[in-house]
Structure 1
Amino acid sequence: MPSVVLANDHGAVDLAVIFADYLKKIGYEVNHLGVKTNDSVDYPDMAKAACDEYKKGGYEFGILLCGTGIGISISANKIDGIRCALPQNSYAAAMARRHNNANFIAFGGRINYSEDPVEMLDAFIEAAFEGDRHQRRVDKIMALEQSC
């Protein structure tokens, strides 16, 4: 059974439940590290917990959620080896996997998306990395972690 790690702060509790339930329904094991109440937590801590867990291995990808998705995705992208996308629609979600080999996807629990976030997540799940010239670009992205 494929596994996914999911973490959220207090700004995305409802969306985290929707995603966890959906993923279980389609056959994923979900390691939900996020909060289940509206008590305030800091999104950088949630990003670090999920990324550290992901890096242990055994996960297909990770999902991060905060109020906008912005703070938690920025936090995740500071962690060595993580490529977290913050898509605005299904096309962007799919392209994050196809061209950038994103291993995390982020959403905002307080964002009114023009598309159902579950459909956006599906687009991400169904896409596969295309490699070839995109691998060269991903390698350059990852080299940036070492250059600064």
Structure 2
Amino acid sequence: MKISLGNDHAGTDYKFEILEYLKSQGHEVTNHGTDKDDSVDYPDFVHPVAKDVENKKADFGIIICGSGNGANMTANKHQGVRSALCWNKEIVSLAREHNNANVLSIPARFTSKPQALEMVKTFLNTPFEGGRHERRVEKIACS
């Protein structure tokens, strides 16, 4: 699977742990995130992830910032991107099953690293249910 990853300074440590896990599972990962703790602007690292998903260069995106909100809002500006701000694996499951989320937004300041890793695992291993949810997902996109 191809995964595009982006983070700001609040998510650097999380990114490295997630990146290590993804590579250990054989995923192809594009790292658009900062590798430092110096303050940066999250859109500079989230837009490339969203573009990868939008242009089908990546199957999924994972974005990380302090609250997850800014990154999530930025990603959702792109057509075909359904970014979900999640803070536990149950919400991640619903975002995949019911909303066919293709980008996971993680709030680094409100989740632990082990919790974030569990969310990533759940995100990548939970299929979209389709059915009645399909028509709802189709209504999300603006034409």
Scaled by the length of structure 2, the TM-score of the pair is 0.92
User: What do residues 79-127 of structure 1 show as CA deviations (whole Å, max 9, x unaligned)?
Assistant: 2211001112111101111110001001122223497211111111111
Residue 26 (structure 2) pairs with residue 27 (structure 1): yes
Alignment of 1:1-148 (within 5 A): 2-113=1-112, 116-142=115-141, 145-146=142-143
Q: Percent identity?
A: 38
User: What do residues 48-93 of structure 1 show as CA deviations (whole Å, max 9, x unaligned)?
Assistant: 1111122232422000111111110011112221100111211110
Match of 2:104, SS state, is strand
Match of 2:96, SS state, is helix
Match of 1:5, SS state, is strand
Structure 2: segments with no counterpart, 5+ residues: none
State the distance in 1 between where 2:13 and 2:98 align: 30
Equivalent pairs, count = 143
State the distance in 1 between where 2:111 and 2:52 align: 29
Over the residues paired in the alignment, what is the CA RMSD in angstroms? 1.6
* 2:18 aligned partner, one-letter code: F
CA contact (8 A) 1:87 1:106 kept: yes
User: What do residues 10-40 of structure 1 show as CA deviations (whole Å, max 9, x unaligned)?
Assistant: 1110000011001111111110011000122
* 2:94 aligned partner, one-letter code: M
Runs of 4+ with >3 A deviation: 112-115
Scaled by the length of structure 1, the TM-score of the pair is 0.90
Match of 1:7, SS state, is strand
